[in-house]
Amino acid sequence: MDKPAVWTMDGRQRPAVALKLELLDAETEEKITDVAEVIFKRYGLNGDGGKGSTNENNYVTSFDIWGSNGKTYDKLLYSSGGMSVYQMELVGSLLKGETIVSPMKTSYKLRLCKV
């Protein structure tokens, strides 16, 4: 990715945004690695799957995240059941250039990569 945030639509008509993030140690703010977190609508805009269900407008993230250091990390922005309002607000904070504490793993901080 040559930009820190990219919007796309997958083949199932699910809007998504990919964020290229710096993963930091929460205490020292030392950079650990770069990661990419993909946030996408759980069900497609075409009504595939969740049309009319309570999960119809849920947003979720990828299960595993690969770091540029070759290691995998658990989700950093979301756990299960759809992203909460708080978690979505954190994504907004990232897009504004702020550094946040991961809501899933408080020993990490996240910020958009500089390009």
Task: Encode pLDDT of 73-96 as tens digits.
Answer: 988 888 777 788 888 899 999 999
Q: What is the pLDDT of residue 106?
A: 94
Percent of the chain residues past pLDDT 90, beyond the cut: 41
1 pLDDT above the threshold of 60: no
pLDDT tens for each residue of 6-33: 888 888 778 888 899 999 999 999 999 9
Q: For residues 17 and 112, is the Cβ–Cβ distance under 8 A?
A: no
Q: For residues 43 and 73, is the Cβ–Cβ distance under 8 A?
A: no
**Distance between CA 6 and CA 2 in Å, rounded?**
9
**Distance between CA 3 and CA 103 in Å, rounded?**
24
Closest CA to 106 of 3, 20, 10, 26: 26
pTM for this predicted structure: 0.82
**Distance between CA 103 and CA 86 in Å, rounded?**
9
